[in-house]
Amino acid sequence: MDTRLMSEQDLRDVTGKKRHSAQAAWFKLHFGLTPVQRADGRIILTWAAFEALQAKRAGVLPGAGAPAPNRPALIPLRKAA
């Protein structure tokens, strides 16, 4: 597992975008998440996290095909107003 952070150039190569806001929008569009950003807008993402996002999107994440365990029914404690 590669815990190395993606560099500015890596993010440009992956997204095809130069601006940090455009890179964040690209991640939102393609993976449905807003990446963690520094105060100056730069994205903080490890290669391992990016590869996991790709695997999840492709449906090849280990254990993704396993059936969900039976969950008990949820009963509200009080009625919502």
Q: Give yes or no for residue 13 having a pLDDT over 70.
A: yes
Which of 51, 47, 48, 27 lies closest to 37 in space, CA to CA? 27
- For the whole prediction, is pTM greater than 0.75? no
pLDDT category, 16, cuts 50, 70, 90?
very high
- The pLDDT tens digits of the residues spanning 24-79 come to 999 999 999 999 999 999 999 999 999 999 998 888 876 655 566 787 888 778 77
pLDDT category, 21, cuts 50, 70, 90?
very high
Rounded Cα gap, residues 52 and 13, in angstroms: 18
